[in-house]
Structure 1
Amino acid sequence: MMHHDTFDSLTRNAFDFLERGIAEFDKMPKYSVIHFCAAVEMLLKARLMKEHWSLIVSKPDQANLAKFMAGDFISVTLEDCSARIRDVAGEDIGDDAYNSFRTLAKHRNKMVHFFHPEMDSVSKAKAQIVAEHCRSWFHLHRLLSRWGNYFREFDKEIAHADRAMKAHRKYLRAKFRALKTELDTACKAGNAPRACSACGFKAAIPDDLDEQIASLRCMVCDHTETQVEIECPHCGKPVVIANEGYATCEHCDGAIKPEHLVDALTKDVVGTKDYSETGLPANCEACEGYHTVVERGDHYFCTSCFEISDHVETCGWCNELNTGNMEHSYSTGCSNCDGKVGWEKDD
């Protein structure tokens, strides 16, 4: 009961800070940054708390329940929080999300430690803040959706925050209008801008890897993402999936997973047997995905974390294909094995 109550309290506090961070932006942008960043960090800590309350303490081995309940403890940093979610919960939040949260945290630290009188009047500064909020909310919203089993009781708060963020984007309209000439030029050059998943403006310039995969960078909010276009494995309608291989079809609400992307991106390969005999799909060193890497022309694409690699190498111990450097894999192994050292240790 204590575990549920503390998780519930922390999460409700996080959404209260998030609501304040969005609502205060127009008149108090400095406090908007501080509260918005605090909300992001608290929600990540709430996910850690689902594993164990001591994980949100800076030094878990020294955690004291009585002090924790009294609020007498040093909280985990953003960096350590991300690492523990990966190493303990087994769920990597991803480099793009982490970098977005870190940028927001750095801006928050400047707001806390230095006085910025111009923050209340300069529209350019406000646009920067909104862009940071949009990028961070994009990643946070995806994580909350992925962690639906833990945050199901807060669906209403998540939906409310999402609606509020859409209204929040009005502060970027001036920048979008100012970019009209550049966007028109990109369109004429054959790089028609697409809708940005973070800010919603049709200002994301694609750099196509092939006819189904493209990397995009938004000229309005600087959000970057990789998009894959496939037919939904459940309803057959076209869907665009961004940044990771876990998604929900907007047409039928069917769950889409990396294995579905593997099937979709290899269906035109001549003979499934011929493809498997090459050792593909390969494993991904970046996210430790098993058989998530497919070949696309001269590149290799991970259907789990959307990492794009130039080559794959064979593990010296298990002979599995992997992205990354396999030079010492005979001894240390790869994402699929522990190598000779691990085998001898187990033996």
Structure 2
Amino acid sequence: MIDGDPWAGSAMAPKSEDNAPAFLTEKALFHALTKSAFEFLNKAIDEFETSSKFSTIHFATAIELFLKAKLMREHWSLILEKPDQADRAAFFRGNAKTVSPAIAVERLHKIAQISIPKEFKDTFETISKHRNKMVHFAHAGEHEPANLTGQTKIAEEQCAGWLAIKTLLTQWSGFKKYRTDIVRISAKMEGHRTFLERVFESKAEELGIHRAAGLNIGKCPSCGFDAVKLGKQHGALVEADCAVCRYVGTEVHVKCSNDACGADIVFNSYGGHPVYCETCDEQLDKDDLRYQLDTGPGYHKDTMIDYIHINCASCISYHSVVEHEKVYVCLECFDTSDKYGVCGYCGDGQLGGVDEFSSFTGCEFCDGASARYADD
């Protein structure tokens, strides 16, 4: 990922013969893409109850534009379908074919080294497929606004989609100036909560059974209902699954590193860890998290014999995975798995496993032996 502002001190767009800008600057186009994405989001939410079709199409378009805006932030040519044939003048005048959302995610990963958690990628893909269905096929619920099944599905998708986008925008550089837009969309998404109240009410018995089993219920960071079924605590980790929407994540429990405080600090995998303890303001950094969560032969232990560094394929983080009570957890995105695999080519571990033929195909962090046979 490119740090800092890639446009600091950049030249203005070329001038035409009448001394007017011939096309938008990179910074102006980035702003235009981002603002357009928010406009599509607004439209999608406004149309939710009256047109399932257009709400879904506009929501998917907004996600696509946000991804392209981030690519634009890294370098304008990354948006093009064929960067090797980039024509700057044609691109800035709008005469160029751009990438699909799936390719945008792939380029953010492989070229800009920007991590997008697997849950987010799966959510984007679900919304994209639903959008394609709306565009190319008749949708059973389109002309039945009261169809609870159809609207429930769309509400769930959009809650999950907005949670993913909002999380990324608050983490990505270049989007801080759009905080007002983020707050406004979050407020408008409350309308989905009004609709999902019927779903929440229908889950009362299921949530009651969960509580009766001695397990806890938490507040969902996606739909906002007290409907997250928390599993049994495994060390510092608790699996979380919302009964109303599509939220699935991990809740993490750690202690404040200030011995005089020792307060419990609880956070979820979507929001990430807080930077300080709310009780005493003591900082909580990644070294603190690693020390508390790494119960295996980690770097702070006395032995380094046969220690394998493990990477996270979900968020493309290098050596970020530690063993916690026989479960493996990434310290960046807090994805978990009960196993990892070792790449047959680079020798690093990968959360969840690697391809059977990794010696040739490699893993998410190397190209394997196949790179030797790639065309120059």
Q: So what's the TM-score if we normalise by structure 1?
A: 0.83
Contact 2:361 2:370 in 1 (8 A): yes
How far residue 181 of structure 1 moved from its aligned partner, in angstroms, is: 0.7
* Corresponding residue SS for 1:273: coil
How far residue 308 of structure 1 moved from its aligned partner, in angstroms, is: 2.6
2:223 aligned with 1:166, yes or no?
no
Range with greater deviation from structure 2 (171-180 or 120-129): 120-129
Q: Map Cα deviations across residues 34-89 of structure 1 (whole Å, 9 max, x no partner).
A: 11111111011100001111211222222222322232222211110100111121
Contact 1:244 1:306 in 2 (8 A): no
Counterpart residue type for residue 133 of structure 1: Q
Number of aligned positions between the proteins = 341
2:147 aligned with 1:122, yes or no?
yes
How far residue 176 of structure 1 moved from its aligned partner, in angstroms, is: 0.6
Higher relative contact order (CA 8 A, sep 6+): 2
Measured at CA, do residues 339 and 127 of structure 1 come closer, stay the same or move farther in structure 2, by a change above 3 Å? closer
Q: So what's the TM-score if we normalise by structure 2?
A: 0.78
**Whole-Å Cα distance in 2 between the matches of residues 173 and 16 of structure 1?**
26
Q: Which structure has the highest helix share of the two? A: 1
1:80-99 matched pairs, under 5 angstroms = 80-99=103-122
Unaligned runs of 5+ in 1: 343-347
Counterpart of 1:201 in structure 2 is 225
How far residue 244 of structure 1 moved from its aligned partner, in angstroms, is: 7.4
1:133-282 matched pairs, under 5 angstroms = 133-147=158-172, 149-208=173-232, 210-231=234-255, 238-243=265-270, 245=272, 251=278, 258-266=286-294, 272-274=300-302, 276=304, 279=307, 282=309
Measured at CA, do residues 129 and 327 of structure 1 come closer, stay the same or move farther in structure 2, by a change above 3 Å? closer
Contact 1:246 1:255 in 2 (8 A): no
Unaligned runs of 5+ in 2: 1-11, 13-24, 372-376
1:101-116 matched pairs, under 5 angstroms = 101-116=124-139
Counterpart residue type for residue 128 of structure 1: K
Counterpart of 2:327 in structure 1 is 299
How far residue 128 of structure 1 moved from its aligned partner, in angstroms, is: 1.4
How far residue 168 of structure 1 moved from its aligned partner, in angstroms, is: 2.6
Counterpart of 2:22 in structure 1 is none
**Whole-Å Cα distance in 2 between the matches of residues 334 and 40 of structure 1?**
27
Measured at CA, do residues 258 and 93 of structure 1 come closer, stay the same or move farther in structure 2, by a change above 3 Å? farther
Percent identity, aligned pairs only, is 34
Q: Map Cα deviations across residues 218-267 of structure 1 (whole Å, 9 max, x no partner).
A: 11112211221224568956231314756556949998665442123148
How far residue 302 of structure 1 moved from its aligned partner, in angstroms, is: 1.9
Range with greater deviation from structure 2 (36-45 or 321-330): 321-330
Counterpart of 2:49 in structure 1 is 26
Range with greater deviation from structure 2 (271-280 or 173-182): 271-280
Measured at CA, do residues 254 and 299 of structure 1 come closer, stay the same or move farther in structure 2, by a change above 3 Å? same
Range with greater deviation from structure 2 (36-45 or 307-316): 307-316
Counterpart residue type for residue 17 of structure 1: F
Contact 2:60 2:128 in 1 (8 A): yes
**Whole-Å Cα distance in 1 between the matches of residues 42 and 138 of structure 2?**
24
Contact 2:346 2:366 in 1 (8 A): yes
**Whole-Å Cα distance in 1 between the matches of residues 322 and 230 of structure 2?**
21
